[in-house]
Every structure is written in structure tokens, then in C-alpha cells.
Structure 1
Amino acid sequence: MTTFVDRVELHVAAGNGGHGCASVHREKFKPLGGPDGGNGGRGGDVTLVVDQSITTLLEYHHSPHRKATNGQPGAGDNRSGKDGQDLVLYVPDGTVVLDKDGEVLADLVGQGTTFVAGQGGRGGLGNAALSSARRKAPGFALLGEPGEARDIVLELKTVADVALVGYPSAGKSSLISVLSAAKPKIADYPFTTLVPNLGVVTAGSTVYTIADVPGLIPGASQGRGLGLEFLRHVERCSVLVHVLDTATLESDRDPLSDLDVIEEELKQYGGLDDRPRVVVLNKIDIPDGQDLADMIRPDLEERGYRVLEVSAVARTGLKELSFALADIVGKARAAKPKEEATRIVIRPKAVDDAGFTVTFDEQEEVYRVRGDKPERWVRQTDFNNDEAVGYLADRLNRLGVEDALLKAGARAGDGVAIGSEENAVVFDWEPTLMAGAEMLGRRGEDHRLEAPRPAAQRRRDREAERDDAEREYDEFNPF
């Protein structure tokens, strides 16, 4: 059974906003109560939060589909809908968030770091919020916006100060087990370590973390063995420690060639050239191992490596190693720039930014309008309500969409699409000289709120309606 997962594809969906309510206040002796439809509630967000007590993405491997709750619709008597509950997903420290194209969206490092992976939809306005001096009693409300839904990839990169790298069975797991309280699986066969192990080492006043990365072999950077899966776990380290086996039983291997192979794989992977290196010659408790260490040490020092001889079994040289690594880690921490306080970056819009664009799609033969506001307004419009469609026309006209269409060469009857190719509203454009509200005059006024008509007038209106109905019936049924 899988116990460690460091890469998952997650499908997140934020909550939809609740619809606004179109309602008119009704109370005895108050015939002009006015609109009282409440607003819809906001949909819940999907938020990733770093929790350092979590070390794997296993939970999301088993259940990759996550959705926040929707906002509740508004109601009469100016009652707004309840907001949807935010969905908080806890991830390990060092999780990288990418989109489906591989672009990095966020790098989550540090306890409590957050990232909104899915934004909840806005709630629609009720007719009480849409009323104005011109539109006293709107007979419509705005729909809630759908929540953001997308596929993201979570990759875990272990946050450690020191990374132990080397061939399988070089003694990395044994070394981390005696330097720290970590208890990795240890056995005398290759690829015993299948997942990175993390330990905490205390050397004097310095406390640092050390990671044991699964064994690397030639071709690891291209996916051979386990290397490609776990090479990313050394990206955040401050020090790379080459653990070389001086008592290998394989005749075609020796510590120097092992070092060259691992360095070549690190070079092919990229991004690790600036990390200081330390070479640890392990298994010197074996006589042949000590003799080989004495032979190759001058060559390693000539290459510029700092060389330490240890035995994880006999616990020889461990104190010198832990303090040497603490010294390098301390210098690396001191060299890092101090984290500055969070700055607010203000990016003002250009003076000629209209908030939307109009382009001609030659393939579909339509004029396509793209922009946050027009697309959001379209999503919030109930196209079964003529008054709501007229309100949308007013908003688009005030934004300047009609003028932009004229400048782009659009003519009466041309197709206009608002939104992306996958989810656009298409209509035949008819240019107007006035906004929708001016054309419809009394649109938005609720005749139910007008003063009562005299009884005689109501009787004459009913008779006229009956005569019209009979005339229409005779026209369509001549026999």
C-alpha cells in the first residue's frame, strides 16, 4: 500500500454564488412596499495551507476531487443568502502548486502559508440592490457567479538543510539514523529506501534538518530508477553530501567513479551547481574500506572537496561530520537575504485600458468581446427575463462595448460573442442610439405598485382584453 506520495493532480472547484432574489414587499395597508429581494451568498473558496506536521500528499492521492460549498440564494424581506463555507486543504511544507501546463502558481514554504486555489463565485444582487430612481421596482435579480474550477498539480519538494546523495546501499539511511532520531528502513539490498527520510540534527547551538534521498544510478535525471521522482527533493537544500561506499562488493564500481556519475546526474538535472559539496567516505570500519579511503582521499581533496571519513555502524567520525555540516549550514543561512515584510504591489491600469477587447474571429465569423466585466455580467444574467437582458444591454452600452463594435467595423446583423470559445453567449447585434432603459421607457417599474384603478376602469380593461382574445381566436380559426 502506498504510504508516501509527493506528486498528485488535484481537481478543485470553488462554491457557486447564490442567486439574488426578485421580490416585492407585501403587507396589509402598504401597497407600495417596494422591492425587498435579498442578495445571494458568496461561494466558498478552496485554500491550500501549509501544515508542517504533514509529510505526504497521500490524502489527495486517494481523493483528488475537492469542492467547496455553494452560497445560498437570497430571499424576500431583504434576507441575504448564507455564504458558502471555505474548504481548507492542508499540505506539507515545501509544496509547489502548478497548473496543468506546468507553470508555477505558488511555492508554499513556511508554516501557515496560504494560497487560494479556487475563488468562490460572487453572489447575485437582489432586486432591492438593483433599484434606482429610474428603475424603482426591478422585476429581476442577478444570478450568482459559478465558482472557479481548475486542475492543479501539487509537487512536494522536501525542505531540508542537508541532502545525502549517493548510490543505492551507500549507507545514507544508516547515516541519517545515527545522526538524528529518524528511523528509516535499512537493509543490505539496493533501493531499500523508496521515499525521502527527514531527520533533525543538533550540533552545539545549531539545529538543522537532513534528508536521505533514495539512491541514484546512471540515467536518474532521465527517469531511470527512482532518481527522477526524488531529485526534486534536493532542490531546497543548502548542502549536498556525497556518501561514497568504500567497501562496495561490485567489481565495476569505485568511490571516484560513483562520485563522477552522481555529479553528472545532478548537472543534468540542473539548478544545483551553486550548492557546497561535502564528501563522506563511509564504512571505514571494514579494513579494506579504510585502505581505500586512504588511497582516494588525496584525489578528492585535490578536486576541492572537503572529505570526512565515517562509519555509521561503528559510529566513528559522526561528531566531526555533524559539526562540519552545522558550520556550512550556518554560513548558508547567514548569506541568505533577510525576508522582507510583505509589500503591497499596486499596478494601476493604463489610461487607455477600457477593461475589455473586441476582436474579429475569422474562423467563427463573429466579433468576440473579452473582458472580466462583460463576461461576469453575462454569467449573472437570466436570459429568460427580458428586463434582465435589457439591464445587461444598459451595462454593456455604458462600458463602451457598442462604440468599440462600431469602431471594429461591426454592422447590424453581425454575430457578437461575449466570452471564451468554450462558453460564450452569441447574439445578432443591432446597434442602438440610446441605452436600453431609455428605449423601453418605463421598464423596471412594477405595475403592481401603482395606485388602484377605479372599478369602472378595471371593468372596461377586462372587456377589452376579452374582445382582443375573441378576435385573435376568430383570425386563427376561420372555420
Structure 2
Amino acid sequence: MTTFVDRVELHVAAGNGGHGCASVHREKFKPLGGPDGGNGGRGGDVTLVVDQSVTTLLDYHHSPHRKATNGKPGEGGNRSGKDGTDLVLPVPDGTVVLDKRGNVLADLVGQGTTYIAAQGGRGGLGNAALASARRKAPGFALLGEPGDDQDIVLELKTVADVALVGYPSAGKSSLISVLSAAKPKIADYPFTTLVPNLGVVTAGATVYTIADVPGLIPGASQGKGLGLEFLRHVERCSVLVHVLDTATLESERDPLSDLDVIEAELKEYGGLENRPRLVVLNKVDIPDGLDLAEMVRPDLEARGYRVFEVSAVSRLGLKELSYALADIVGQARAAKPKEEATRVVIRPKAVDDAGFTVVLEEDGLYRVRGEKPERWVRQTDFNNDEAVGYLADRLNRLGVEEELMKAGARAGDGVAIGPEENAVVFDWEPTMAAGAEMLGRRGEDHRFEAPRPAAQRRRDKQAERDESDQEYEGFDPFA
């Protein structure tokens, strides 16, 4: 038996980027042919896409953990790693994506609508990509970045033009079964319908969808019955239809009080005040039901409702009802603003935006936050001194050193780059920038430099001997 699930918590993890490769090309008579390490592959994304053939979130209820594949590391010979495979997750039309705090991240409506729930990590650059005129033979490569990892909530809100609301056993499922080709479960006891039923109705040239909302009773908006669980399914509808039972066997109920109760619950739920309403007096094929319908109809029309007397058994009044609904749905569709062509919005960065911030925290720690510094830290292999030096060069060029000085940082002060849960912390030395400038030619291999003229080599050797003589001047080996 198929289970209807319209709310799930899903843990999505994108793939990590592959690491870059540090490699040197070698061949016969050319042992140092230059760096040829390839780049790492990009990690796969986790993407949600609307698929009309999917009607429930059941698959994610049973398998709530989904992960894309990682990118492959780069290899020598300038061979880049393979990108990770994107993971595409089909979801029903009308799925809302929320974070754990309930903030809406995306509202997926319409076939093919997509949302990237987790972005794959970038692949690290190989040493071939890091080589430059000043850095001819980098002995390091950049690490791949980790992919996004987060918990999201998927909520399904049925995409329907018409919503039938009313007490259990008011005949909503019966109406859908005769107005459309839907075959919902129908029985003579309350809460027969445990999930929203959806049907397609054709009235003249208009085709629209109709759904019922099960389980509305007093207190539904507060969690009683099934109302709170399914009230979200009426949010997208264009018109609300109150289905009132004129042949109920419960003595304390009547159509007017039923209408007041349901309206109170809709008002308590909120957001449905501007939806047009119709009233359907159902089960008029029963003599007592017809008498009660004729009795309450003037009161309902006095309240401003259009009233239809129908019978799902004899099909009395169904044609008039279907065409009236088609007319309202057509007006609602015409009133919707037309979708404009996609505009490309360019937001240039402010001229005074340094791309990072330096904040002195209460514990005396200087915290550096910014997209570039944090990404560079994630890409750095801290087991490689040359890679650490390259990071220092990048931070220095970005202006982090200068901002730390302006913020009042002194030698030995703690500096953290990144958020609290995943930061790199070190003791700051003001000479770090100077050291980066002095070392300057970090990553260069003098074996790749052009040969010096013979005269220059002789002068250099003589200078080295003179320097050595000065170091040993006055040195007595027998002292």
C-alpha cells in the first residue's frame, strides 16, 4: 500500500573537490621539464528538480541521507581529475524547501524547476596552474574544497486550482470522484480520507485541478484531527469550496454551524482571507437533505456566498458547479501577472570593499572573515611549508596584514581565519609579511633559470670565497 508523505527532513551532502597534483615532468635528457600537475575535479552538486510524475516525498522518508560523489584528484602529465557526478533528486510539484529554523529557501512550482540544495566543492589547482614567471616550479598544489553539507526540510503543498474543505464525511471525496477521473477511497465513516486527493476537471475549454483537504474539525488549526497536517495543501488554490452535509445524522450539527467552524479554522491558519468562496450543499438526493438545503440557502446567500445544491449520487447540479468553478479559475489565471523575461542584475562590488573583515573579539582573538581568506585556508596543505608560504603571500597581497596592524594587533596575538567551528588559529608575527616579501621568490627552482654568463659565474664564486674568508677571519682551530 502506497503511503503519502508530505513532510520530510533531508540531509544533503555535496561532493568534495579533488586535490590538485604537484608533479614535475621528466623525460630522457630532460629530467626537469617543468611542473605538470593537473587540477582536481569539482565535487558533485545535490539538486532538487520538480518532476510531475512524483506525487509524494516517501522515498526521502525512507532514505533521508543523500550525498553526491567527490571529484577525483589531479594527476601528473597535466591530467585533471574527473568531476564528481551531480545527484538529482526529483520532488513533487509544489515542494517548499526550508532550513532547520523554518526559513524558506526555495518554492519549487512548475515542471523542471530546480534548486541546488548543496554546492559541490571546487577542485584544487595543480602546480602547473600555479606556475608563473616568478614561480616556475611550485613544489605544492592546492587542496580541493569540501562540498556543502546541510539539513533541509521538504514540505509538499498541493498545487491545485480548487480546494474542497469541510467536515469529515461531508462528501468531498465523492464529489471529486464524479467531477474527475480520480478514484479516492469512499466510505460512510469519518476520516475515510487520510491524504489529499487530486483530480483533473474539464469544463468547456478550461481544465483545472481540484483537491480535497481531509480531517478538518474544530481545533484543526491547533493540531486536532488531521487538519493541521493538511491545511498547507489549500495555500496554493484559487478558490475554496465549502462542502456542507445537509443529511448529517449528528444532531448538534447543521450546515451553518459547520460553515462557521471551518471558516474559523481557516482564519486561524491565516493567509486565505482573499480567496473566493463557494458553498456546496451536498446530499440533496436525500429528502431531508433537500429540505434542509432549501431552508439554509437564503441565509448563506445573505452572507454573500454563491450556493449550489448538488448530489454526488444523482449528479444533480454538478455541471453548473463545474462551469462556475472553471469561470473563477479562469479569472484567477488571467489576473496573475505575466512572467517577465529573466533579467541579468549586475551588482558591482563597492570600491571600498576589501573582501574581508578583521574583528577583535572579547577574548583578545583577532578573527578574519571573508570569502577569499577562508577559501584559501581550506585549500592550503599545512604540512607543506611552501604551501603555507604561498598562503602568507596571498593574505599579504589581499591586505590582511595591514588591516591587522590597523586593528591594533601585536606580535604574539592570536589570529583566527574562518568561523568558530572551523577556523585556523595562529600566533601573529608582524614580520610575517616582511618574511613573505624577503623570501619572495618562493616556489622557484634555480635549475630552471637561464644559465649565467661565464664571467658572471666567476664573479659570483669570488664573492662567495670572499664572504667565506670574512667568516673564518681570526678563527684559530687550535684555540
Task: Name 1:115's counterpart in structure 2.
Answer: 115
The equivalences for 1:38-49 within 5 A come to 38-49=38-49
Q: 2:449, 2:329 → 1: CA distance? A: 80
Q: What code does the residue aligned with 1:109 have?
A: V
Q: 2:81, 2:11 → 1: CA distance? A: 27
The equivalences for 1:204-223 within 5 A come to 204-223=204-223
Task: Name 2:190's counterpart in structure 1.
Answer: 190
Task: Name 1:228's counterpart in structure 2.
Answer: 228
How high is the TM-score relative to the length of structure 2?
0.92
Residues 394 and 435 in structure 1, CA contact (< 8 A), matched pair in contact too: no
Q: What code does the residue aligned with 2:367 have?
A: R
Distance 1:358 1:434, change over 3 A: closer
Spell out structure 1 runs of 4+ moving beyond 6 A. none
Alignment of 1:167 onto 2:167: yes
Q: What code does the residue aligned with 2:380 have?
A: T
Task: Name 1:283's counterpart in structure 2.
Answer: 283
Residues 40 and 126 in structure 2, CA contact (< 8 A), matched pair in contact too: yes
| Pairwise CA distance, 1:222 | 1.1
Task: Name 1:78's counterpart in structure 2.
Answer: 78
| Pairwise CA distance, 1:404 | 1.1
Local SS of the residue matching 2:233: helix
| Pairwise CA distance, 1:432 | 2.8
Task: Name 1:457's counterpart in structure 2.
Answer: none
Q: 1:443, 1:97 → 2: CA distance? A: 47
Q: 1:365, 1:52 → 2: CA distance? A: 55
Q: How many residues align?
A: 451
Alignment of 1:250 onto 2:267: no
| Pairwise CA distance, 1:441 | 4.3
Task: Name 1:379's counterpart in structure 2.
Answer: 378
Q: What code does the residue aligned with 1:53 have?
A: S
> Matched residues, percent identical?
89
RMSD between aligned residues = 1.4
Task: Name 1:316's counterpart in structure 2.
Answer: 316
| Pairwise CA distance, 1:134 | 1.4
Alignment of 1:405 onto 2:404: yes
| Pairwise CA distance, 1:433 | 7.3
Task: Name 2:104's counterpart in structure 1.
Answer: 104
Q: What code does the residue aligned with 1:99 have?
A: D
Task: Name 1:23's counterpart in structure 2.
Answer: 23
Q: What code does the residue aligned with 1:169 have?
A: S
Task: Name 1:148's counterpart in structure 2.
Answer: 148
The equivalences for 1:214-363 within 5 A come to 214-362=214-362
| Pairwise CA distance, 1:365 | 2.8
Local SS of the residue matching 1:267: helix
Residues 164 and 243 in structure 1, CA contact (< 8 A), matched pair in contact too: yes
Task: Name 1:455's counterpart in structure 2.
Answer: none
Distance 1:400 1:79, change over 3 A: same
Residues 41 and 122 in structure 1, CA contact (< 8 A), matched pair in contact too: yes
Q: What code does the residue aligned with 1:407 have?
A: K
Task: Name 1:464's counterpart in structure 2.
Answer: none
Local SS of the residue matching 1:298: helix
The equivalences for 1:454-469 within 5 A come to none
Task: Name 1:469's counterpart in structure 2.
Answer: none
Task: Name 2:471's counterpart in structure 1.
Answer: none
Q: What code does the residue aligned with 1:335 have?
A: A
- Deviations along 1:264-308, one digit per CA (max 9) or x if unpaired, are 110011110010000000000111100000000000000000000
Q: What code does the residue aligned with 2:171 have?
A: G
Q: What code does the residue aligned with 2:224 have?
A: R
Q: 1:435, 1:85 → 2: CA distance? A: 44
- Deviations along 1:117-173, one digit per CA (max 9) or x if unpaired, are 010000000001101111110100000000011111000000000000000000000
Task: Name 1:467's counterpart in structure 2.
Answer: none
- Deviations along 1:302-351, one digit per CA (max 9) or x if unpaired, are 00000000001111111011001001111111111111122222222222
Q: 2:321, 2:2 → 1: CA distance? A: 34
Task: Name 2:461's counterpart in structure 1.
Answer: none
Q: 1:443, 1:164 → 2: CA distance? A: 72
- Deviations along 1:354-376, one digit per CA (max 9) or x if unpaired, are 111111121x4311111111100
Residues 397 and 435 in structure 1, CA contact (< 8 A), matched pair in contact too: no
Q: What code does the residue aligned with 2:411 have?
A: A
Q: Which runs of 5+ in 1 are unaligned?
A: 453-479
Q: 1:295, 1:450 → 2: CA distance? A: 103
| Pairwise CA distance, 1:32 | 3.3
